[in-house]
Structure 1
Amino acid sequence: MGAAGSKLEKALGEQFPEGERYFGLENFGNTCYCNSVLQALYFCVPFREQLLEYYSSNKNLADAEENLLTCLADLFMQISSQKKKTGVIAPKRFVQRLKKQNEIFRSYMHQDAHEFLNYLLNELVDILEKESHAAKSDPETSSPSEKMANGPKNSHPNGTQKEPLVTWVHKNFQGILTNETRCLRCETVTARDETFFDLSLDIEQNSSITSCLKNFSSTETLNADDKFFCDKCCSLQEAQKRMKIKKPPHILVIHLKRFKYIEQLGRYKKLSYRVVFPLELKLSNTVEDADAEYSLFAVVVHVGSGPNHGHYVSLVKSHNHWLFFDDENVEMIDESAVQTFFGSAQEYSSNTDHGYILFYERVVAGSTS
């Protein structure tokens, strides 16, 4: 890492807690999509702590089968237990497992970081659920896995309906959306809930996350061929539909839809639009809390002019300082540098480094980040 490395080490020694580690990740040929997301997840502190707790609860299970969860826990343990504060680690075992498990990630082509994040979180949930079911069917082994997967027990007062398993992945990332449709004839509102791990937002030129969220929750009128079948009227009726955030997640992941299919071109195009993402975000228009407040702690950035080539890097906030991770390289950056990743105000610009996935942590009243 040379002079830059020693400069970083000096800064880390002076400004960061003793226990924190800041390690670059080796690239195994177009694995920057994976490295950038892993850095964002490592600096998602509640997720990291629960993953390390999972590791310490399960490391003695000799017959534990290797999977993406054990490989990720092993990698995070490897980083957090390094003697030095900074350096480079090769996430070889994790990448090999990922490629073995999903053929999409086997090629050396440019992959999508958002697709990888989605796949990883859903895979972790599947593994935790399987472990919990296995533990229930074998009481002898029910200790660490089930407790780790589910946390506190849910009671079932009526004994009839079994609640779905809520893993620590859900507790960090899962929110609930409610899709409300109001019949314009009888005024009956039909609501349907759905869960999400991230919000994918359409973007416009010179906009902001707040305006993108407003558009996401805007009211749409269903008429003509799109009329809604109202159960109360027993017929197709004009209606108004809107999506609201019913339960905001602890970690809010926002994916900006920068890759759009252009029919005239017959291919996907990257939208380099300037979309302002604030360091502090207030979620309005939520059902439960009118003022859920969030603080930005990581950004996965897509570098490049098109969807099929390019590079991913990440910015992370740790103990009130921002760092820049580009595969093996780690450097400190000024908070004001985050603004350079908002996007381009003009369609053709030399700046191709654009914020793609944003990670916000919910601010609990009275706490400091």
Structure 2
Amino acid sequence: MGAAGSKLEKALGDQFPEGERYFGFENFGNTCYCNSVLQALYFCVPFREQLLEYYGNNKNIADTEENLLTCLADLFSQISSQKKKTGVIAPKRFVQRLRKQNELFRSYMHQDAHEFLNFLLNEIVDILEKEDQAAKNDEGTSPPSEKVANGPKSGLANGAKKEPLVTWVHKNFQGILTNETRCLQCETVTARDETFFDLSLDIEQNSSITSCLKNFSSTETLNAEDKFFCDKCCSLQEAQKRMKIKKPPRILVIHLKRFKYIEQLGRYKKLSYRVVFPLELKLSDTVEEADIEYSLFAVVVHVGSGPNHGHYVSLVKSHNHWLFFDDENVEMIDESAVQTFFGSSQEYSSNTDHGYILFYESISNKN
């Protein structure tokens, strides 16, 4: 471990970023799904800074009850305050809390990194909302606003008079999708907004993120049994439906749907398709506004041929260097190595390391 750390320091030499820390995480029995996501979040600089600010504001409160947020803040603080530049940290307290909180992550079975990321972000939001409510109650103010759910499946509260709390998780990760349905009889457009923390995209062989996004927002015709009930026509009508990004997030998280349920097999299969993800991504066709540019800064990679076994590692861009995090091990890699994680162009390939969750930060829309 020490040798690996010193090797990394030697590789970076004078270019080792001032004040930065590169620490691997110990694995507590199949916790690579957790380790890889935590590394990606640690190198999501706005998220890290706000979490450390939260830690600074709350560390002296003696009666703060331990929860997933306090454990994560404590872990990030441990890393950032290390005297050494490299090494290994055991995220034991965080993992214990995670297993205590959610039985899904209690077993030593292979877990899904995307499920974990979704759970973690929503859990942090819940904790922040409860803390905000407790503070308001202490001040004797009115009851809380109606909560707007944070996942991609939920709609914004229509006509809600009270504004929902916008946490720093929302400010970083939340975007808004608009689901538009146009009645082909009367041309009336019905639009419904939904919030999202990440976009889950269907993938095809030898495709790219751009083409996956185009498919995501392509127009679909609703006819036959799928007709749409138009309020204006007061009847079922043929319609056209499409999904657009109304408000792009500061941090765009893209989840590639690599695990597909195959009816004939009666189980999930991993799609090892080659999906090119660029280092710089432009959102144009999917967004209502002008072009939005994003820069890739982290990739959670699934290693293995199936959904129920395998391993997770992460690639992270930090101060213009790319690093490879594999539990305790941290190595420097060349930028060109990122493309080896696009996937396999043939169905049967020895390459089983495939990009699974992509983290992009907005360049043109930093706020």
The interval holding the TM-score normalised by the smaller chain is over 0.9
Q: How far is the alpha carbon of 1:29 from its aligned partner?
A: 0.3
Q: How far is the alpha carbon of 1:203 from its aligned partner?
A: 0.2
Change (3 A) 1:148 1:91: farther
Alpha carbons 1:54, 1:148 under 8 Å: kept: no
Whole-angstrom CA distance in 2 between matches of 1:178 and 1:30? 38
Alpha carbons 1:244, 1:287 under 8 Å: kept: yes
Query: 3-state SS of the aligned residue for 1:299?
Result: strand
Query: 3-state SS of the aligned residue for 2:120?
Result: helix
Change (3 A) 1:141 1:30: farther
Change (3 A) 1:238 1:72: same
Query: Is residue 2:223 matched to residue 1:223?
Result: yes
Whole-angstrom CA distance in 1 between matches of 2:45 and 2:144? 21
Whole-angstrom CA distance in 1 between matches of 2:154 and 2:28? 43
Q: In the TM superposition, what whole-angstrom CA distance separates every residue of 1:114-144 from its partner, at most 9, and x where no partner exists?
A: 0000000000000000000000010299999
Alpha carbons 1:131, 1:146 under 8 Å: kept: no
Change (3 A) 1:337 1:132: same
Whole-angstrom CA distance in 1 between matches of 2:147 and 2:194? 26
Whole-angstrom CA distance in 1 between matches of 2:267 and 2:81? 45
Answer with 177-186 or 155-164: which moved more: 155-164
Alpha carbons 1:245, 1:285 under 8 Å: kept: no
Alpha carbons 2:282, 2:293 under 8 Å: kept: yes
Query: 3-state SS of the aligned residue for 2:148?
Result: helix
Alpha carbons 2:152, 2:198 under 8 Å: kept: no
Q: In the TM superposition, what whole-angstrom CA distance separates every residue of 1:255-274 from its partner, at most 9, and x where no partner exists?
A: 00000000000000000000
Query: Is residue 2:179 matched to residue 1:179?
Result: yes
Q: How far is the alpha carbon of 1:159 from its aligned partner?
A: 13
Query: 3-state SS of the aligned residue for 1:144?
Result: coil
Alpha carbons 1:34, 1:113 under 8 Å: kept: yes
Whole-angstrom CA distance in 1 between matches of 2:274 and 2:152? 43
Q: How far is the alpha carbon of 1:302 from its aligned partner?
A: 0.2
Query: 3-state SS of the aligned residue for 1:260?
Result: strand
1:190 matched to which residue of 2? 190
Change (3 A) 1:34 1:142: farther
Alpha carbons 1:149, 1:168 under 8 Å: kept: no
1:265 matched to which residue of 2? 265
If the length of structure 2 is used for normalisation, what is the TM-score? 0.93
1:167 matched to which residue of 2? 167
Alpha carbons 2:204, 2:273 under 8 Å: kept: yes
Q: In the TM superposition, what whole-angstrom CA distance separates every residue of 1:37-60 from its partner, at most 9, and x where no partner exists?
A: 000000000000000000000111
Change (3 A) 1:157 1:35: closer
Q: How far is the alpha carbon of 1:10 from its aligned partner?
A: 2.2
Change (3 A) 1:159 1:314: closer
% same residue? 90
Whole-angstrom CA distance in 2 between matches of 1:158 and 1:106? 37
